Structure 1
Amino acid sequence: MKRRLGPAWLERAPDGSGWRARRGRVREGYFDEKRATVRMAEMIAEHDREERAIEAGERERRERGVSFREVAAEWLEYLRHERGAKPSTLNDYGYMLAEPGTPHRRGGGKSPGVLMAAFGDRPAAKIPTREVSAFLRALDKEGVSPRSVNKYRQVLSAIFNYACRVDTHGLPSNPVAGTTKRREPPAAVLDFYEPDEVETIASAAADGSHRGTQPANLSADEITWRAREDAQDGELFRLAAYTGLRLGELIVLRWEDVDLDARRTVVHRALSAGVEGPTKSWQARFLPLADPAAEALERLRVRGDYTSREDYVFCSRLGRRLDPSAVRRRFKAARDAAGLRALRFHALRHAAGSLIARHADARFVQEFLGHSRITTTERYMHAKARPEDLERVNLAFAHKHPTRQETSQTTR
């Protein structure tokens, strides 16, 4: 062990032969041989105490076992560094595993911290299934929705699965496995905007209706910039509805990703919690551009600036990436200005999937929307009846089946 004590009370010998003790009283903070010897003994004693404390802590930890809090922290690091979880996913789990009273990153709220309040200090190996079930039932009684209860259950199960691995803590079993998954109500029927409604919203944005009353003293440059921003918003809403791109994919789309000659775009980036990274499914997809989508991009292409390969397709006045929250607010304002029913921005993606599903099979819709699981796509296949579905049922019920008497006469 080497530690610096401080400056020595020495001076160079006049003949240059080395160092010698300085004369006079040793100043505060300096060390002569005697002080250095005493201080060295003190530091050795301090080091011994620290080592004994560490050993005692490790011994106590081994005896009681690793706590749930420690395993949860390790699991988050595992997701971050080994699994490459998206920032938004890590934020969600981090919120669920926050300590009680932790301030929210935005606003004045605080985290309830129910998981840490219930299990944080408990040795992970000593948490029984009965205790986990009691925790989930307490959430039920508090009126927590079945979906949220299941999310807590899923996080607990993932943490204990991690702790059961032989390369982590080797817990003998997962106590969550014996608990009951709550029955969730069926997903709401998809509602979305038809193409004419999409155009109504885009037009409301493009003509500035969503801005409300404008100040009378705006400069000519400001009026021009606002008009360009409004037109861009309209095209963004169109592209969301005609391509099914997620908002996080739209706002990081660059011109190098767009091939207007081939009428297609490659989607391989997305924004998650303010960080650009891979798409939600971690896979790039090549997306064919329908005429309305290609025409929207062509109009953006001739805006005069920020159209080089590395530029964002949708950008601010300074060429910077748009803020997703601001885009959602402007969409809501344009929707309300257009007098349409209150659907979220994500309903534009639902529109793309549902409209494509009327004319394509499930596999094409899955690839078009970038779903990792076909079960997610199946919602769109039943959103609205396709023309051929109506033909099938009309054909089935238009035929007149023979009665029993007619059948009996025929067989005689």
Structure 2
Amino acid sequence: MSIEIRKRDKGTVYRVRWNQNGLKACRSFSRYHDAKSFQQEVKESDSGFEAVSFTFQKAADEWITKHAEIRKEPSSVYMDKNMLKQNILPHIGNLRLCSIQPRHLENWIHFLKQKKRLSNSTINRNIDVIKAIFSYYHKRRAIYFNPASVVDKLRMDTKPFDFWSGQEVRLFLEYVKKKYEHTAQHSTYVFYALALNTGARLGELLALRWSDVDFDNGLIAISKTFSGHVRKVKNTTKSHKVRHVPINSALTPVLEKAQKGHRNDELVITWSGTVIDPNNLRQRCFYNDLKESGVKRIRIHDMRHTFASHYMMNDGNVFKLQAILGHSSLKMTQRYTHLSKTFLMDKTDVVSFTAEENVIKVDFTKQAATA
């Protein structure tokens, strides 16, 4: 192990070089004192020697226990564990943490893309987990090189999403109202009406209670969400903020009728007094209702897209829409500024220039004669 001194135009650089498990490593400092302290840490650090037999599997388990389960949402931890089990550990779990190089990670990404045929967005979520684990141990000096720091995520192309036309929305709501109006599953219709008129997320609507509905001020407080992964209501939303969405004139009578005979602490959307499982709602109701009503097949989340798209097509304000949807970034909301093809075709003559109208007439013959 040594400290190299190199003089450059911008000042002197002190570079610590050492061998770690047969691999050459180095780190640069602008002050000699810092380089000397780091050199001593490398010599004395127990974690550096422990990493010789520390596998990525063990590192991932410790990261989940000591970091993820303490600092992340249960639903996020569930997804992290699933990605580790399905896509990451089978490929690099048995490798020593300190021996993993960028080429190992690039080969792993190639496998996910070419063999497992995963989408770029799914692969990027897996990369995020690996980056988080390596960063955790790099900050704690268990490893002196973070191979994930030089591995780039895949390019993300914005995918088009589906949404219903106004006619499809009316046809669907008309059908489900007749189907569920006088049944024990009446709140299924209420769910559809809420989703299409507020743009709220599935989990947010399933966690909604009548105490969250303010009829006097025409607002619904969105403060909780139901996580299907851990089957629990979380007292926070995806953005970790309480937001209020307006109750429009179409939704008011639906909610007033559904609220009769219910206490404030009861769920708005329920079949038996408990939270409806999202998968049951999809399989037992939504997909059947799509087929029976004859409308285009979409996802439940696309009802949120439908609300947002029609909000913008009816000259809604993008900043107000951001607040209604609970987006942390305006960029996310700007996806909805696109318009349907039919709407664009209706607007083709808003700007229309011809050579015959609204043009200053010039007598070129007269100009040529005087030239």
TM-score by length of 2: 0.75
CA contact (8 A) 1:264 1:286 kept: yes
- Over 3 Å counting, the alpha-carbon distance change for 1:331 and 1:156 in structure 2 is same
| 2:232 corresponds to | 275
How big is the shift at 1:169?
A: 4.0
CA contact (8 A) 1:201 1:234 kept: no
How big is the shift at 1:172?
A: 2.8
| 1:95 corresponds to | 82
Q: Distance in 2 between matches of 1:152 and 1:178?
A: 15
Deviations 1:14-66 (A, max 9, x none): xxxxxxxxxxxxxxxxxxxxxxxxxxxxxxxxxxxxxxxxxxxx999716153
| 1:208 corresponds to | 179
Paired residue type of 1:382: H
| 1:136 corresponds to | 109
Q: 2:337 aligns with which of 373, 381, 384?
A: 381
Deviations 1:351-381 (A, max 9, x none): 1111112222321111111112222211111
Q: 1:311 aligns with which of 262, 266, 275?
A: 266
Q: 2:136 aligns with which of 146, 149, 162?
A: 162
Deviations 1:300-358 (A, max 9, x none): 012x2xx21111111223x2222211222201111111111111111111111111122
| 2:64 corresponds to | 76
What is the number of equivalent residue pairs in this alignment? 316
Q: Distance in 2 between matches of 1:92 and 1:152?
A: 10
Q: 2:99 aligns with which of 126, 147, 151?
A: 126
Q: Distance in 1 between matches of 2:64 and 2:177?
A: 44
Paired residue type of 1:322: I
Paired residue type of 1:313: V
- Over 3 Å counting, the alpha-carbon distance change for 1:177 and 1:63 in structure 2 is closer
The DSSP-based 3-state class of the residue aligned with 1:395 is: coil
How big is the shift at 1:207?
A: 2.7
- Over 3 Å counting, the alpha-carbon distance change for 1:291 and 1:89 in structure 2 is same
Q: 1:177 aligns with which of 141, 149, 152?
A: 149
| 2:7 corresponds to | none
The DSSP-based 3-state class of the residue aligned with 2:226 is: strand
Q: 2:164 aligns with which of 193, 198, 218?
A: 193
Q: Distance in 2 between matches of 1:183 and 1:403?
A: 52
- Over 3 Å counting, the alpha-carbon distance change for 1:326 and 1:360 in structure 2 is same
* Unaligned 5+ runs, structure 1: 1-57, 99-112, 210-225
The DSSP-based 3-state class of the residue aligned with 1:234 is: helix
How big is the shift at 1:232?
A: 2.2
CA contact (8 A) 2:48 2:141 kept: no
CA-based RMSD of the aligned residues comes to 3.2
CA contact (8 A) 2:56 2:96 kept: yes
| 1:293 corresponds to | 251
| 2:304 corresponds to | 349
Paired residue type of 2:162: D
- Indicate yes or no: 2:123 matched with 1:149: yes
- Over 3 Å counting, the alpha-carbon distance change for 1:74 and 1:245 in structure 2 is same
Q: Distance in 1 between matches of 2:366 and 2:251?
A: 61
| 2:8 corresponds to | none
Higher strand share: 2
Q: Distance in 2 between matches of 1:299 and 1:88?
A: 34
The DSSP-based 3-state class of the residue aligned with 2:137 is: helix
Residues 200-279 of structure 1: pairs in structure 2 closer than 5 A: 200-208=171-179, 227-272=182-227, 273=229, 274-277=231-234, 278-279=236-237
Paired residue type of 1:181: K
Identical residues among aligned pairs (%): 24
CA contact (8 A) 2:100 2:147 kept: yes
- Over 3 Å counting, the alpha-carbon distance change for 1:336 and 1:68 in structure 2 is same
The DSSP-based 3-state class of the residue aligned with 2:50 is: helix
CA contact (8 A) 2:51 2:96 kept: no
- Over 3 Å counting, the alpha-carbon distance change for 1:67 and 1:195 in structure 2 is same
Q: Distance in 2 between matches of 1:270 and 1:235?
A: 17
Q: Flag the structure with larger Rg.
A: 1
| 1:369 corresponds to | 325
* Unaligned 5+ runs, structure 2: 1-45
The DSSP-based 3-state class of the residue aligned with 1:297 is: helix
The DSSP-based 3-state class of the residue aligned with 2:207 is: coil
The DSSP-based 3-state class of the residue aligned with 1:352 is: helix
How big is the shift at 1:71?
A: 2.4
Paired residue type of 2:56: F
Q: Distance in 2 between matches of 1:202 and 1:89?
A: 34
Paired residue type of 2:350: N
Q: 1:320 aligns with which of 267, 274, 278?
A: 274
